[in-house]
């Protein structure tokens, strides 16, 4: 990089600010380095930045033309240049009546036609009008997908379980080896189970292998195949032709578009299972929360813009400070799947080493992400965070209130437990930042004979995100915040966050290896793979004897 701002940040990173020193020199730091929007309060004062670093990061955003790049994303420019198409996931949550013309097509009109079609089917299922082959109403819905067709709907349905207003149970299956589906089918009634086959391409082997097993399970009852296909399968894809070829009836098909990336597709009909659980009104509340964050992203000054700040901090940590691990730590059990959701969103988007111009990047891009619910994580990998040899940046996420004010059940004992969770969230970020200095005098180990084993170095940077409460709307805003964070980071790094060629190559290789397993071939690959194939075939032959 020859940009002077970039070079200045590199020089600052040689002697990065220490968090203990920063807070001692500026007692009001925790009040200043904050931003808020869409019922989300962000405290980034525990990041290893001072005012001059922050100023240069904001300058970097201007140097890399971030304002125009945000506009390009939101107005349908072909920001996915390696696939020659726009990335219009933000259009999926734009209110009805607005106009977005892309290549002569009113995208907004298409989106809301699709939502109306989904609403019609959702209501039929929830109101018990949709019946299985024996005439019984649907009791269980199984979403079969993988990647973005699974992680997003699973995460949102779990997070919003308390908002579910139906007795229909929603399940998710993604594992291609069949064990996950097999365990679930043993608990379900084929007469009252509906399957959603979610696949953007409708060619993903993981999804179609599970769908084939589900169909065989239903046909094993002796039910008529045509009736089973009509009453027990809904398809969601960009490929109507492939859905029809598989057997999905036209009336049971929900379409999306190739400009919807899989990991950004929750807002489309891929979120169908979420709408079944919480109703279409609840699903639209989630869309509204995401749209509110879109508007904030588009209009707020960068110094107070949540996605911009979160993205710039990510670049500072990964590229300049060389912090190559980032942990997502929600202190709310309902956000169980949020860390896993973000691992795909960030690492599939920004896990790139080639810039848009085709040149290899000469700096570090996306860090390795992982995480867990905070209380579990404290008893698992926080040991490494506090006393390991590596620096790790963290995002702490927690709602201030256990319940949204629209919910009627305010159980006192759950509120008390939530206070305990909040206390742990704030305490952990303190110790990560300040180490031993965070501890009161009575907890110091200065005179302990084992005190040198009980030292906490601190200076682990973190951001804390406080949600007013967890609701469909705030969840929508939170997800959109991270989507835009990913885009900000990609804009600074000059990479395309919307393709995933690294995913595709594995699928191609898997097909060739599958053919070798099926044909009992034992050569044609590297010596390791050939030997592994030989062992597999040898064992299979023994079982068949």
Please report which confidence band the pLDDT of residue 507 belongs to, taking 50, 70 and 90 as the band edges: confident
| Least confident segment among 83-87, 364-368, 442-446, 477-481 | 442-446
Is the pLDDT at 519 greater than 60? The verdict is yes
Look at residue 520 in the predicted model and tell me its pLDDT: 80
Mean pLDDT in residue range 98-102: 90
Distance CA 327, CA 434 (A): 18
What are the residues whose beta carbons fall under 8 Å from the beta carbon of 492, sequence distance 6 or more?
60, 61, 64, 66, 311, 312, 315
Look at residue 524 in the predicted model and tell me its pLDDT: 82
Look at residue 1 in the predicted model and tell me its pLDDT: 55
Distance CA 312, CA 355 (A): 18
324 annotated active-site: no
**Cβ 485 vs Cβ 307: under 8 Å:** yes
pLDDT tens digits, 52-98? 999 999 999 999 999 999 999 999 999 999 999 999 999 999 999 89
Look at residue 306 in the predicted model and tell me its pLDDT: 98
pLDDT tens digits, 336-381? 999 999 999 999 999 999 999 999 999 999 999 999 998 899 999 9
Helices (DSSP H) in 75-169: which residue ranges?
A: 107-126, 148-159
- Residue of 212, 507, 520, 535 marked active site: 507
| 417 compared with 230, residue with greater pLDDT | 230
| Least confident segment among 200-209, 254-263, 294-303, 444-453 | 444-453
| Least confident segment among 31-35, 117-121, 439-443 | 439-443
Q: What tokens were used for 60? A: 């970097």
**b (16+ CB within 10 A) / e for 226-251:** eebbebbbbbbbbbeebbeebbbeee
DSSP lists the bridge partners of residue 360 as 354
Look at residue 320 in the predicted model and tell me its pLDDT: 97
Look at residue 454 in the predicted model and tell me its pLDDT: 74
Distance CA 519, CA 101 (A): 50
Look at residue 254 in the predicted model and tell me its pLDDT: 97
- List the Cα angle 345/347/351 in 5-degree steps: 135
535 annotated active-site: no
| 42 compared with 504, residue with greater pLDDT | 42
Is the pLDDT at 409 greater than 70? The verdict is no
pLDDT tens digits, 30-64? 999 999 999 999 999 999 999 999 999 999 999 99
Look at residue 236 in the predicted model and tell me its pLDDT: 97
Distance CA 146, CA 29 (A): 43
Q: What tokens were used for 452? A: 């040198």
507 annotated active-site: yes
Number of other CB atoms surrounding residue 31 within 10 Å: 10
Is the pLDDT at 449 greater than 60? The verdict is no
**Percentage of residues of the chain with pLDDT beyond 90:** 79
Is the pLDDT at 481 greater than 60? The verdict is yes
Please report which confidence band the pLDDT of residue 451 belongs to, taking 50, 70 and 90 as the band edges: low
Look at residue 110 in the predicted model and tell me its pLDDT: 95
66-74 vs 51-63: helix crossing angle, rounded to 10: 60
Nearest in space to 314 (alpha carbons), one of 273, 365, 251, 242: 365
Count helices and strands (H / E) in the chain.
Answer: 20, 13
Is the pLDDT at 231 greater than 80? The verdict is yes
Task: Report residue 532: phi and psi, to 5°.
Answer: -65, -40
Please report which confidence band the pLDDT of residue 441 belongs to, taking 50, 70 and 90 as the band edges: low
Distance CA 317, CA 313 (A): 6
- Residue of 379, 409, 452, 542 marked active site: 379
DSSP lists the bridge partners of residue 171 as 142
DSSP lists the bridge partners of residue 237 as 255
Is the pLDDT at 311 greater than 80? The verdict is yes
Nearest in space to 433 (alpha carbons), one of 66, 25, 20: 20
Please report which confidence band the pLDDT of residue 511 belongs to, taking 50, 70 and 90 as the band edges: confident
Is the pLDDT at 450 greater than 70? The verdict is no
Look at residue 257 in the predicted model and tell me its pLDDT: 94
Distance CA 431, CA 439 (A): 8
- Residue of 348, 473, 484, 485 marked active site: 348
């Amino acid at each position: 990089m020859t940009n002077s701002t970039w070079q200045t940040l590199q020089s600052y990173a040689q002697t990065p600010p220490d968090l203990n020193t920063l807070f001692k020199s500026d007692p009001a730091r925790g009040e200043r380095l904050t931003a808020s929007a869409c019922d989300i309060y962000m405290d980034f004062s525990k990041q290893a930045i001072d005012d001059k670093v922050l100023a240069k990061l904001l300058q970097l955003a201007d140097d890399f033309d971030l304002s125009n790049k945000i506009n390009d994303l939101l107005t349908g420019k072909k920001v996915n240049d390696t696939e020659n198409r726009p990335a219009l996931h933000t259009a999926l949550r734009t209110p009805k009546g607005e106009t977005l013309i892309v290549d002569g097509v009113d995208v907004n009109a298409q989106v809301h036609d699709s939502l109306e079609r989904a609403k019609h089917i959702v209501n039929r299922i929830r109101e018990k009008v949709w019946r299985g082959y024996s005439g019984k109403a649907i009791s269980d819905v199984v979403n079969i997908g993988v990647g973005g067709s699974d992680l997003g709907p699973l995460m949102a349905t779990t997070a919003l379980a308390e908002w579910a207003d139906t007795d229909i149970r929603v399940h998710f299956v993604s594992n291609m080896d069949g064990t996950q589906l097999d365990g679930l089918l043993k608990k379900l009634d084929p007469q009252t189970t509906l399957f959603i086959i979610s696949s953007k391409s409708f060619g993903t082997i993981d999804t179609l292998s599970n769908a084939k097993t589900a169909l065989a399970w239903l046909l094993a009852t002796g039910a008529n195949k045509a009736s089973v296909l009509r009453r027990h399968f809904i398809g969601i894809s960009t490929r109507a032709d492939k859905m029809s070829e598989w057997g999905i009836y036209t009336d049971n098909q929900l379409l999306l578009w190739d400009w919807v990336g899989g990991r950004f597709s929750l807002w489309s009909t891929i979120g169908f299972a979420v709408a079944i659980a919480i109703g279409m009104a609840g699903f639209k509340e989630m869309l509204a929360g995401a749209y509110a964050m879109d508007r904030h992203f588009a209009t707020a000054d960068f110094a107070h813009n949540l996605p911009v700040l979160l993205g710039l901090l990510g670049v500072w940590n990964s590229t300049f400070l060389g912090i190559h691990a980032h942990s997502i730590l929600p202190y709310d059990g309902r956000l169980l799947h949020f860390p896993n959701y973000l691992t795909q969103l960030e690492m599939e988007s920004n896990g790139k080493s080639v810039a848009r111009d085709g040149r290899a990047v000469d700096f570090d891009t996306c860090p390795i992400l992982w995480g867990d619910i905070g209380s579990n994580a404290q008893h698992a990998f926080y040991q490494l965070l506090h006393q390991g040899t590596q620096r790790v940046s963290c995002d702490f996420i927690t709602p201030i209130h256990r319940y949204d004010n629209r919910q009627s059940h305010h159980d006192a004992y759950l509120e008390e437990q939530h206070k305990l969770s909040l206390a742990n969230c704030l305490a952990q970020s303190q110790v990560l930042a300040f180490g031993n200095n965070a501890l009161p005098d009575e907890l110091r180990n200065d005179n302990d004979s084992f005190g040198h084993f009980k030292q906490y170095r601190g200076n682990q940077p973190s951001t804390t995100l406080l949600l007013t409460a967890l609701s469909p709307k705030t969840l929508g805003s939170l997800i959109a915040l991270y989507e835009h964070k990913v885009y900000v980071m990609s804009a600074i790094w000059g990479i395309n966050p919307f393709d995933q060629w690294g995913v595709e190559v594995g699928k191609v290789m898997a097909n060739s290896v599958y053919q070798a397993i099926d044909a009992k071939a034992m050569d044609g690959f590297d010596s390791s793979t050939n030997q592994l194939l030989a062992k597999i075939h040898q064992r299979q032959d023994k079982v068949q004897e």
